[in-house]
Amino acid sequence: MVRRRVLIIDDEEDIRQVAALSLETVAGWDVLMASSGVEGIDRAASEKPDAILLDVMMPAMDGPTTFLELQKRRETVGIPVVLLTAKVQGPDQKRFAGLGVAAVLFKPFDPLTLSRQISDVLGWQD
Tell me the backbone φ, ψ of residue 24, rounded to 5 degrees.
-70, -45
The DSSP-derived string for 21-89 is HHIIIII--EEEEESSHHHHHHHHHHH--SEEEEES--SSS-HHHHHHHHHH-TTTTTS-EEEEES--S
pLDDT, residue 11, reads 97
Orientation of helix 63-72 relative to helix 37-47, angle to 10° = 30
Higher-confidence position of 98 and 78: 78
CATH assignment of 5-120, among 3.10.310.30, 3.40.50.1010, 3.40.50.2300, 3.40.50.1820: 3.40.50.2300
How does the average pLDDT of the chain come out, rounded? Answer: 92
Higher-confidence position of 97 and 110: 110
Q: What is the domain partition of the chain in residue ranges?
A: 5-120
pTM of the entire structure?
0.93
Give the helix/strand (H/E) hosting 11: none
* pLDDT tens-digit map of 42-88: 999 999 999 999 999 999 999 999 999 999 999 999 999 999 988 66
pLDDT, residue 98, reads 77
Region 22-51 average pLDDT: 97
pLDDT, residue 90, reads 65
